[in-house]
Protein backbone atom coordinates (compact mmCIF):
# COMPACT_ATOMS: atom_id res chain seq x y z
CA UNK A 1 0.00 0.00 0.00
CA UNK A 2 0.97 3.65 0.11
CA UNK A 3 -0.06 5.40 3.31
CA UNK A 4 2.47 8.21 3.57
CA UNK A 5 4.63 10.17 1.12
CA UNK A 6 6.34 13.53 0.67
CA UNK A 7 6.70 16.32 -1.89
CA UNK A 8 9.20 19.16 -1.74
CA UNK A 9 10.20 19.86 -5.37
CA UNK A 10 9.54 23.35 -6.70
CA UNK A 11 6.75 23.93 -9.21
CA UNK A 12 9.29 24.80 -11.93
CA UNK A 13 10.94 21.38 -11.68
CA UNK A 14 7.61 19.54 -11.80
CA UNK A 15 6.33 21.71 -14.66
CA UNK A 16 9.38 20.96 -16.80
CA UNK A 17 9.32 17.23 -16.07
CA UNK A 18 5.62 16.77 -16.88
CA UNK A 19 5.14 19.51 -19.46
CA UNK A 20 2.66 21.50 -17.40
CA UNK A 21 0.76 24.45 -18.83
CA UNK A 22 -0.61 27.48 -17.04
CA UNK A 23 1.00 29.91 -14.63
CA UNK A 24 2.98 29.18 -11.50
CA UNK A 25 1.17 27.04 -8.95
CA UNK A 26 1.79 27.14 -5.22
CA UNK A 27 2.45 23.59 -4.07
CA UNK A 28 2.28 23.06 -0.31
CA UNK A 29 5.63 21.50 0.64
CA UNK A 30 5.23 18.60 3.03
CA UNK A 31 7.61 15.89 4.19
CA UNK A 32 4.82 13.86 5.79
CA UNK A 33 1.67 13.73 3.68
CA UNK A 34 -1.02 11.62 5.33
CA UNK A 35 -4.54 10.62 4.23
CA UNK A 36 -7.00 13.48 4.48
CA UNK A 37 -4.37 16.03 3.44
CA UNK A 38 -4.24 17.91 0.15
CA UNK A 39 -2.12 16.28 -2.54
CA UNK A 40 -0.81 17.69 -5.82
CA UNK A 41 -2.22 15.91 -8.85
CA UNK A 42 -1.69 16.31 -12.59
CA UNK A 43 -4.73 16.08 -14.85
CA UNK A 44 -5.27 16.64 -18.55
CA UNK A 45 -7.54 19.58 -19.37
CA UNK A 46 -8.18 19.81 -23.10
CA UNK A 47 -4.75 19.44 -24.66
CA UNK A 48 -2.84 20.61 -21.58
CA UNK A 49 -1.44 18.96 -18.47
CA UNK A 50 -2.31 21.02 -15.39
CA UNK A 51 -1.61 20.82 -11.69
CA UNK A 52 -4.44 20.80 -9.14
CA UNK A 53 -4.96 20.12 -5.45
CA UNK A 54 -7.03 17.16 -4.31
CA UNK A 55 -7.95 15.68 -0.93
CA UNK A 56 -6.33 12.28 -0.37
CA UNK A 57 -9.14 9.79 0.23
CA UNK A 58 -11.42 8.86 -2.66
CA UNK A 59 -15.14 9.43 -2.17
CA UNK A 60 -17.42 7.97 -4.89
CA UNK A 61 -20.36 9.94 -6.23
CA UNK A 62 -22.78 8.16 -3.87
CA UNK A 63 -20.65 8.80 -0.80
CA UNK A 64 -22.39 10.61 2.05
CA UNK A 65 -19.41 12.39 3.61
CA UNK A 66 -15.66 12.88 3.30
CA UNK A 67 -14.98 10.35 6.06
CA UNK A 68 -15.70 7.57 3.56
CA UNK A 69 -12.47 8.54 1.84
CA UNK A 70 -10.48 7.28 4.83
CA UNK A 71 -11.14 3.73 3.60
CA UNK A 72 -10.11 4.45 0.01
CA UNK A 73 -6.70 6.05 -0.02
CA UNK A 74 -5.43 3.26 -2.29
CA UNK A 75 -6.85 1.27 -5.21
CA UNK A 76 -5.39 -2.08 -6.25
CA UNK A 77 -4.20 -2.29 -9.87
CA UNK A 78 -5.59 -5.82 -10.12
CA UNK A 79 -9.17 -4.78 -9.34
CA UNK A 80 -9.39 -1.04 -10.04
CA UNK A 81 -11.00 -1.38 -13.48
CA UNK A 82 -13.94 -3.40 -12.19
CA UNK A 83 -14.53 -2.22 -8.63
CA UNK A 84 -17.75 -0.14 -8.49
CA UNK A 85 -16.13 2.62 -6.40
CA UNK A 86 -13.34 3.20 -8.92
CA UNK A 87 -14.68 1.93 -12.25
CA UNK A 88 -15.90 5.27 -13.62
CA UNK A 89 -12.83 7.18 -12.46
CA UNK A 90 -10.56 4.55 -14.04
CA UNK A 91 -12.34 5.17 -17.31
CA UNK A 92 -12.46 8.97 -17.25
CA UNK A 93 -10.76 10.56 -14.23
CA UNK A 94 -7.16 9.37 -14.11
CA UNK A 95 -4.36 11.50 -12.71
CA UNK A 96 -0.79 11.49 -11.48
CA UNK A 97 -0.10 12.08 -7.80
CA UNK A 98 3.20 13.96 -7.62
CA UNK A 99 5.79 12.86 -5.06
CA UNK A 100 9.49 13.00 -4.32
CA UNK A 101 9.40 9.85 -2.24
CA UNK A 102 7.24 7.62 -0.05
CA UNK A 103 7.59 5.82 3.26
CA UNK A 104 7.20 2.20 4.22
CA UNK A 105 7.74 0.37 7.48
CA UNK A 106 9.54 -2.87 8.31
CA UNK A 107 9.15 -5.00 11.41
CA UNK A 108 12.56 -5.16 13.08
CA UNK A 109 12.63 -7.03 16.38
CA UNK A 110 8.96 -6.34 16.96
CA UNK A 111 9.35 -2.65 16.23
CA UNK A 112 8.07 -0.78 13.15
CA UNK A 113 11.05 0.92 11.51
CA UNK A 114 10.39 3.55 8.80
CA UNK A 115 12.22 3.66 5.47
CA UNK A 116 12.24 6.32 2.77
CA UNK A 117 12.01 5.25 -0.89
CA UNK A 118 12.89 7.66 -3.70
CA UNK A 119 14.36 7.82 -7.20
CA UNK A 120 18.13 7.42 -7.43
CA UNK A 121 18.30 10.57 -9.56
CA UNK A 122 16.26 12.48 -6.95
CA UNK A 123 13.68 13.58 -9.51
CA UNK A 124 9.99 13.81 -8.54
CA UNK A 125 7.69 11.18 -10.02
CA UNK A 126 4.03 10.58 -10.75
CA UNK A 127 2.11 7.83 -8.98
CA UNK A 128 -0.92 6.56 -10.88
CA UNK A 129 -4.05 7.94 -9.32
CA UNK A 130 -7.79 8.45 -9.67
CA UNK A 131 -9.89 11.43 -8.71
CA UNK A 132 -13.56 12.29 -8.33
CA UNK A 133 -15.28 15.65 -7.93
CA UNK A 134 -17.55 14.68 -5.06
CA UNK A 135 -20.55 16.85 -4.18
CA UNK A 136 -21.53 17.08 -0.52
CA UNK A 137 -25.20 17.09 0.63
CA UNK A 138 -24.76 20.87 1.06
CA UNK A 139 -23.69 21.26 -2.56
CA UNK A 140 -19.95 21.78 -1.95
CA UNK A 141 -17.69 20.20 -4.60
CA UNK A 142 -14.52 18.58 -3.35
CA UNK A 143 -11.82 16.86 -5.40
CA UNK A 144 -10.97 13.53 -3.75
CA UNK A 145 -8.39 11.03 -4.90
CA UNK A 146 -6.65 7.69 -4.43
CA UNK A 147 -3.24 6.24 -5.29
CA UNK A 148 -3.11 3.01 -7.28
CA UNK A 149 -0.82 0.30 -5.92
CA UNK A 150 0.74 -2.72 -7.57
CA UNK A 151 3.09 -5.56 -6.60
CA UNK A 152 6.37 -4.43 -5.04
CA UNK A 153 9.64 -4.53 -6.96
CA UNK A 154 12.88 -5.97 -5.54
CA UNK A 155 13.73 -2.78 -3.66
CA UNK A 156 10.42 -2.41 -1.83
CA UNK A 157 9.56 -6.12 -1.39
CA UNK A 158 11.63 -6.60 1.81
CA UNK A 159 9.39 -3.97 3.43
CA UNK A 160 5.96 -4.61 1.89
CA UNK A 161 4.39 -6.63 -0.91
CA UNK A 162 2.71 -3.52 -2.40
CA UNK A 163 3.98 -0.20 -3.72
CA UNK A 164 2.61 2.77 -5.68
CA UNK A 165 2.31 2.24 -9.42
CA UNK A 166 4.85 4.81 -10.63
CA UNK A 167 4.03 5.86 -14.20
CA UNK A 168 6.99 5.85 -16.56
CA UNK A 169 7.53 9.05 -18.53
CA UNK A 170 6.71 7.37 -21.85
CA UNK A 171 3.30 6.34 -20.48
CA UNK A 172 2.25 9.66 -18.93
CA UNK A 173 0.35 10.91 -22.00
CA UNK A 174 -1.56 7.63 -22.31
CA UNK A 175 -2.51 7.49 -18.63
CA UNK A 176 -3.74 11.07 -18.46
CA UNK A 177 -5.71 11.05 -21.73
CA UNK A 178 -9.44 10.87 -20.79
CA UNK A 179 -10.23 9.81 -24.36
CA UNK A 180 -8.43 6.48 -23.82
CA UNK A 181 -10.77 3.82 -22.44
CA UNK A 182 -9.13 0.53 -23.49
CA UNK A 183 -8.84 -1.45 -20.28
CA UNK A 184 -5.84 -3.59 -21.18
CA UNK A 185 -3.87 -0.65 -22.54
CA UNK A 186 -4.42 1.31 -19.33
CA UNK A 187 -3.71 -1.63 -17.04
CA UNK A 188 -0.35 -2.14 -18.77
CA UNK A 189 0.76 1.17 -17.23
CA UNK A 190 0.13 -0.05 -13.68
CA UNK A 191 3.31 -1.95 -12.92
CA UNK A 192 6.17 -1.62 -10.49
CA UNK A 193 8.96 0.57 -11.77
CA UNK A 194 12.39 -0.95 -12.50
CA UNK A 195 14.24 -1.72 -9.29
CA UNK A 196 17.40 0.06 -10.41
CA UNK A 197 15.53 3.38 -10.50
CA UNK A 198 14.80 3.40 -6.76
CA UNK A 199 16.75 3.31 -3.53
CA UNK A 200 15.75 3.24 0.12
CA UNK A 201 17.24 3.94 3.50
CA UNK A 202 16.15 4.04 7.13
CA UNK A 203 14.84 7.33 8.50
CA UNK A 204 13.86 8.72 11.88
CA UNK A 205 10.82 7.42 13.75
CA UNK A 206 9.65 11.04 13.74
CA UNK A 207 7.84 10.25 10.50
CA UNK A 208 5.56 7.87 12.39
CA UNK A 209 3.48 10.88 13.44
CA UNK A 210 1.96 13.08 10.71
CA UNK A 211 2.42 16.00 13.12
CA UNK A 212 6.16 15.86 12.45
CA UNK A 213 6.62 17.56 9.10
CA UNK A 214 10.15 18.69 8.35
CA UNK A 215 13.10 17.86 6.10
CA UNK A 216 14.50 15.79 8.96
CA UNK A 217 11.96 13.10 8.00
CA UNK A 218 13.89 12.19 4.83
CA UNK A 219 17.41 12.33 6.30
CA UNK A 220 19.15 8.98 6.40
CA UNK A 221 20.08 7.66 9.80
CA UNK A 222 22.98 5.36 10.65
CA UNK A 223 22.65 1.83 9.33
CA UNK A 224 21.86 -0.85 11.87
CA UNK A 225 24.38 -3.63 12.52
CA 46/CA 120 separation, integer angstroms: 33
Comparing 178 with 139, the larger pLDDT belongs to 178
Residue 118: inside a domain: no
Q: How far apart are CA 130 and CA 145, in angstroms?
A: 5
Cα(215)–Cα(212) distance, integer angstroms = 10
CA 220 to CA 207: how far, in whole Å?
12
Residue 216 has pLDDT above 70, yes or no: yes
Q: Encode pLDDT of 9-34 as tens digits.
A: 999 999 999 999 877 778 889 999 99
82-100: average pLDDT: 97
Domain that holds residue 89: 5-101+124-195
* Residue 64: CATH number of its domain: 3.90.1680.10
> What is the arithmetic mean of pLDDT over 150-162?
96
At 130-142, the pLDDT tens digits run 999 999 888 889 9
**Domain membership flag for residue 111:** no
Q: What is the pLDDT of residue 27?
A: 84
Secondary structure of 8-55 in HEC code, one letter for each residue:
CCCHHHHHHHHCECCCCCCCCCEEEECCCCEEEEEEEECCEEEEEEEE
pTM surpassing 0.85?
A: yes
**Residue 77 resides in a domain:** yes
Looking at the domain assignment, is residue 112 inside a domain?
no
Q: Mean pLDDT, to the nearest integer, of 156-161?
A: 96
What local confidence, expressed as pLDDT, does residue 223 receive? 64
8: left (phi over 0), alpha (psi -120 to 50) or beta: alpha
Active-site positions read 2, 104
Tell me what pLDDT residue 224 has: 54
- Number of structural domains (the chain) is 1
Strands (E) across 65-121 are located at 74-76, 94-99, 101-108, 111-119
In a domain, 202, yes or no: no
Provide the mean pLDDT of the chain.
94
Q: Could you tell me if residue 60 is inside a domain?
A: yes
Number of H helices and E strands in the chain, helices first, is 4, 12
Q: Is residue 223 part of a domain?
A: no
Whether residue 131 lies inside any domain: the answer is yes
Amino acid sequence: MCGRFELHSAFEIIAKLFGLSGGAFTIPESFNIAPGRDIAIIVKVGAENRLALCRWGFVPSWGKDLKEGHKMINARAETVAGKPSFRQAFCRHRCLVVADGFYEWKNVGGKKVPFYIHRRDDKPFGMAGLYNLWTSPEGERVCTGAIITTGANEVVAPLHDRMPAIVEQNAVALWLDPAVHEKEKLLSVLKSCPSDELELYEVSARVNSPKNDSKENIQQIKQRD
